[in-house]
Amino acid sequence: MPKNRLSKEESIDLFELKSPSDLFSEIQLAICEYHENPNSRLFLFLVFSLTHLAEWIAGSSYEFIKSKNESGQELDQAESFVLDILTLEEFKIVKSLCNRSKHYLISQGNNTSISVGATCNSFCSDSLDQTYYLIDGIDSRVIFASILRKYCSWFELS
Protein backbone atom coordinates (compact mmCIF):
# COMPACT_ATOMS: atom_id res chain seq x y z
CA MET A 1 0.00 0.00 0.00
CA PRO A 2 1.43 3.46 -0.92
CA LYS A 3 2.63 5.54 2.02
CA ASN A 4 -0.03 8.23 1.56
CA ARG A 5 -2.98 5.82 1.88
CA LEU A 6 -4.54 4.56 5.06
CA SER A 7 -5.87 1.05 5.42
CA LYS A 8 -9.50 0.59 6.48
CA GLU A 9 -8.34 -0.20 10.01
CA GLU A 10 -6.22 2.98 10.15
CA SER A 11 -8.73 5.33 8.54
CA ILE A 12 -9.79 8.36 10.50
CA ASP A 13 -13.50 9.08 10.66
CA LEU A 14 -14.74 12.56 9.91
CA PHE A 15 -17.94 12.57 11.94
CA GLU A 16 -20.34 10.22 10.10
CA LEU A 17 -18.23 10.18 6.94
CA LYS A 18 -16.26 6.96 7.00
CA SER A 19 -15.74 6.42 3.28
CA PRO A 20 -15.92 8.13 -0.10
CA SER A 21 -19.36 6.60 -0.62
CA ASP A 22 -20.55 8.31 2.58
CA LEU A 23 -19.44 11.66 1.17
CA PHE A 24 -21.12 10.82 -2.12
CA SER A 25 -24.36 10.13 -0.24
CA GLU A 26 -24.09 13.58 1.36
CA ILE A 27 -23.47 15.11 -2.06
CA GLN A 28 -26.59 13.38 -3.43
CA LEU A 29 -28.70 14.78 -0.59
CA ALA A 30 -27.22 18.23 -1.09
CA ILE A 31 -27.80 18.23 -4.85
CA CYS A 32 -31.48 17.35 -4.32
CA GLU A 33 -31.82 20.23 -1.88
CA TYR A 34 -29.84 22.52 -4.19
CA HIS A 35 -32.03 21.61 -7.17
CA GLU A 36 -35.10 22.78 -5.25
CA ASN A 37 -33.55 25.77 -3.53
CA PRO A 38 -30.11 26.84 -4.80
CA ASN A 39 -28.14 28.90 -2.28
CA SER A 40 -24.54 29.90 -1.69
CA ARG A 41 -24.03 27.50 1.24
CA LEU A 42 -24.96 24.47 -0.85
CA PHE A 43 -23.13 25.84 -3.88
CA LEU A 44 -19.88 25.99 -1.91
CA PHE A 45 -20.43 22.57 -0.34
CA LEU A 46 -21.00 21.05 -3.78
CA VAL A 47 -17.99 22.80 -5.32
CA PHE A 48 -15.70 21.66 -2.50
CA SER A 49 -17.03 18.13 -2.16
CA LEU A 50 -17.31 17.37 -5.89
CA THR A 51 -13.71 18.50 -6.27
CA HIS A 52 -12.24 16.60 -3.33
CA LEU A 53 -14.30 13.40 -3.60
CA ALA A 54 -11.97 12.19 -6.36
CA GLU A 55 -9.00 12.45 -4.00
CA TRP A 56 -10.99 10.59 -1.32
CA ILE A 57 -11.70 7.82 -3.82
CA ALA A 58 -8.04 7.48 -4.82
CA GLY A 59 -6.69 8.06 -1.34
CA SER A 60 -4.06 10.44 -2.69
CA SER A 61 -3.66 13.86 -4.26
CA TYR A 62 -4.03 14.76 -7.91
CA GLU A 63 -0.35 15.69 -7.98
CA PHE A 64 0.71 12.29 -6.63
CA ILE A 65 -1.42 10.47 -9.20
CA LYS A 66 -0.17 12.63 -12.08
CA SER A 67 3.46 12.11 -11.10
CA LYS A 68 2.92 8.36 -10.69
CA ASN A 69 1.35 8.23 -14.15
CA GLU A 70 4.08 10.37 -15.74
CA SER A 71 6.79 8.14 -14.24
CA GLY A 72 5.22 5.09 -15.89
CA GLN A 73 4.04 3.42 -12.69
CA GLU A 74 0.88 1.37 -12.96
CA LEU A 75 -2.26 3.09 -11.67
CA ASP A 76 -4.98 1.28 -9.79
CA GLN A 77 -8.65 1.68 -10.79
CA ALA A 78 -9.25 4.58 -8.42
CA GLU A 79 -6.22 6.49 -9.67
CA SER A 80 -7.26 5.87 -13.28
CA PHE A 81 -10.72 7.19 -12.42
CA VAL A 82 -9.18 10.38 -11.04
CA LEU A 83 -7.14 10.94 -14.19
CA ASP A 84 -10.31 10.37 -16.21
CA ILE A 85 -12.48 12.79 -14.22
CA LEU A 86 -9.73 15.42 -14.44
CA THR A 87 -10.32 15.52 -18.21
CA LEU A 88 -14.03 16.33 -17.81
CA GLU A 89 -14.56 20.00 -18.72
CA GLU A 90 -17.22 20.48 -16.03
CA PHE A 91 -14.87 19.04 -13.42
CA LYS A 92 -12.15 21.47 -14.51
CA ILE A 93 -14.60 24.33 -14.05
CA VAL A 94 -15.69 23.19 -10.59
CA LYS A 95 -12.10 22.48 -9.51
CA SER A 96 -11.13 25.96 -10.66
CA LEU A 97 -14.00 27.48 -8.66
CA CYS A 98 -12.95 25.45 -5.63
CA ASN A 99 -9.36 26.64 -5.83
CA ARG A 100 -10.47 30.18 -6.56
CA SER A 101 -12.72 30.28 -3.50
CA LYS A 102 -10.05 28.83 -1.21
CA HIS A 103 -7.65 31.57 -2.23
CA TYR A 104 -10.14 34.43 -2.12
CA LEU A 105 -9.75 35.10 -5.84
CA ILE A 106 -13.40 35.95 -6.22
CA SER A 107 -13.09 37.85 -9.48
CA GLN A 108 -10.80 35.59 -11.51
CA GLY A 109 -11.55 32.56 -13.67
CA ASN A 110 -15.00 31.47 -14.73
CA ASN A 111 -17.70 34.12 -14.71
CA THR A 112 -20.16 33.46 -11.90
CA SER A 113 -23.45 35.27 -11.46
CA ILE A 114 -26.79 35.01 -9.72
CA SER A 115 -30.09 35.34 -11.54
CA VAL A 116 -33.58 35.39 -10.07
CA GLY A 117 -36.77 34.46 -11.88
CA ALA A 118 -37.77 31.77 -14.32
CA THR A 119 -36.41 31.86 -17.86
CA CYS A 120 -37.16 29.83 -20.95
CA ASN A 121 -34.19 27.60 -19.99
CA SER A 122 -35.50 26.91 -16.48
CA PHE A 123 -36.25 23.41 -15.27
CA CYS A 124 -40.00 22.75 -15.28
CA SER A 125 -39.91 22.14 -11.51
CA ASP A 126 -38.43 25.58 -10.78
CA SER A 127 -40.51 28.25 -9.08
CA LEU A 128 -41.18 31.57 -10.78
CA ASP A 129 -38.91 33.33 -8.29
CA GLN A 130 -36.17 30.68 -8.47
CA THR A 131 -32.59 31.78 -7.77
CA TYR A 132 -29.98 30.55 -10.23
CA TYR A 133 -26.25 30.29 -9.63
CA LEU A 134 -24.72 30.58 -13.06
CA ILE A 135 -21.23 29.65 -14.20
CA ASP A 136 -20.33 31.26 -17.52
CA GLY A 137 -24.07 31.73 -18.08
CA ILE A 138 -24.88 28.03 -17.47
CA ASP A 139 -27.05 26.90 -14.58
CA SER A 140 -24.64 25.39 -12.04
CA ARG A 141 -27.01 22.44 -11.61
CA VAL A 142 -26.27 21.38 -15.20
CA ILE A 143 -22.52 21.51 -14.56
CA PHE A 144 -22.85 19.62 -11.27
CA ALA A 145 -25.04 16.96 -12.94
CA SER A 146 -22.31 16.10 -15.44
CA ILE A 147 -19.84 15.44 -12.62
CA LEU A 148 -22.43 13.52 -10.60
CA ARG A 149 -23.01 11.16 -13.54
CA LYS A 150 -19.28 10.38 -13.57
CA TYR A 151 -19.28 9.67 -9.82
CA CYS A 152 -22.46 7.56 -10.15
CA SER A 153 -20.66 5.39 -12.69
CA TRP A 154 -17.75 4.94 -10.30
CA PHE A 155 -19.88 3.96 -7.32
CA GLU A 156 -22.00 1.58 -9.42
CA LEU A 157 -18.82 -0.27 -10.41
CA SER A 158 -17.19 -0.35 -6.98
**Mean pLDDT in order along the chain per 10 residues (158 residues):** 48 74 95 92 96 94 94 96 96 90 59 60 56 86 96 90
Q: What pLDDT, on a 0 to 100 scale, did the predictor assign at position 132? A: 78
The confidence score (pLDDT) of residue 16 equals: 78
Predicted TM-score of the model (pTM) = 0.77
Residue 113 lies in a domain: no
In a domain, 46, yes or no: yes
pLDDT at res. 136: 87
Judging by DSSP bridges, how do beta strands 131-135 and 112-116 pair with one another? antiparallel
Strand 112-116: give its sheet, edge to edge: 112-116, 131-135, 138-139
pLDDT value of position 151: 97
The structural domain count of the chain equals 1
95 in a domain, yes or no? Answer: yes
Q: What are phi and psi of 94, to 5 degrees?
A: -65, -40
> Pick from 39, 30, 64, 37: which is nearest to 147 by CA?
30
Could you tell me the residue range of the domain that residue 152 belongs to? 20-104+140-157
Residue 152 in domain: yes
Q: Does residue 73 lie within any of the structural domains?
A: yes
Structural domain includes residue 131:
no
Rounded to an integer, what distance in angstroms lies between the CA atom of residue 38 and that of residue 89? 22
- Residue 117 resides in a domain: no
Q: How far is 78 from 80, CA to CA, in rounded Å? A: 5
- Whether residue 29 is contained in a domain is answered as yes
- Residue 4 has a pLDDT of 45
